[in-house]
């Protein structure tokens, strides 16, 4: 699963994701945890940033608490799982990130790693979103991150990894027009290991209450 990631917008966020007319500032978060409200990118002539909560609540759900069980969607079943299948057809999004955390089981306990791309600081996970309404008609927008099998870099650390989209595939992923499911599934593959790097970081990242740039400092165990 992907249960924690980092997001630092930098100065080129709008250009990177072809955003126009964004007014609200985007703040960095070095330890994004489920339930957090974060920026996602959707296609709405042109691309638009929307703030959504991490943990997808399907529009038909009776209990919004289910979102803590839907922070991730498996690529292998995303088109058929009831919680995700409608969003997979119509509500795909980009989840901007600068890296993600995974924990490796060792004889000395779980060791956290920060995993990122070598040549770019800002990239996008493949995501889905939905709009849920409470009894009073108030809307809550939520998202999930799609995961897949790990590549050679991540496999020794964890048995799943988030789907990182190649930048040239992002437009196709968020295009709301009907698309062949097979062509979408073809995008949900492990990112090439040779383009990624990983290093160990402080166990302070274990607590979502800790959110500072120091979490990204390499630590030896």
Quick check: helix, strand or coil at residue 135? coil
Catalytic, out of 2, 20, 76, 93: 2
Residues 102, 121, 139, 168: which is the catalytic one?
102
d(C-alpha 161, C-alpha 152), whole Å: 11
Alpha carbon of 192 to those of 5, 163, 177: distances in Å? 19, 11, 28
Sequence-ordered list of residues with C-beta below 8 angstroms from that of 209, at least 6 positions apart, any chain: none
User: Using an 8 Å Cβ cutoff, are 152 and 135 in contact?
Assistant: no
Residue 2 catalytic?
A: yes
Complete DSSP assignment for 169-218: GHHHHH--S---HHHHHTT-SPPPGGGEEEEEB-GGGGSTT--SGGGGSB
Q: Is the peptide bond before 139 cis (omega within 30 degrees of 0)?
A: no
- Could you write out the three-class secondary structure of 2-37? CCCEEECCCCCHHHHCCECCCCCCCCCEEEECCCCE
Which residues have a catalytic role annotated? 2, 102
């Amino acid at each position: 699963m992907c249960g924690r990631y980092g997001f630092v917008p930098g100065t080129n966020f709008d250009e990177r994701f072809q955003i126009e007319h964004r007014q609200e500032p985007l703040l960095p978060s070095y330890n994004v945890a489920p339930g957090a409200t974060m920026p996602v990118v959707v296609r709405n002539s042109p691309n638009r940033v929307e703030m959504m909560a991490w943990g997808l609540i399907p529009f038909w759900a009776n209990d919004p608490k289910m979102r803590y069980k839907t922070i991730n969607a498996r690529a292998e079943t995303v088109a058929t799982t009831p919680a995700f299948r409608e969003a997979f057809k119509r509500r795909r999004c980009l989840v901007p990130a600068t890296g993600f955390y995974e924990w490796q089981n060792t004889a000395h306990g779980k060791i956290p790693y920060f995993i990122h791309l070598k040549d770019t600081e800002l990239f996008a996970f493949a995501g889905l979103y939905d709009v849920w309404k409470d009894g009073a008609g108030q809307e809550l927008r939520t998202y999930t991150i799609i995961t897949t099998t790990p590549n050679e870099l991540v496999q020794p650390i964890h048995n799943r990894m988030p789907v990182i989209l190649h930048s040239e595939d992002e437009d196709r992923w968020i295009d709301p027009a009907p698309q062949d499911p097979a062509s979408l599934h073809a995008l949900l593959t492990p990112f090439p290991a040779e383009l990624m790097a990983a290093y160990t970081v402080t166990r302070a990242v274990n607590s979502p209450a800790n959110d500072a740039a120091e979490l990204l400092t390499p630590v030896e165990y």
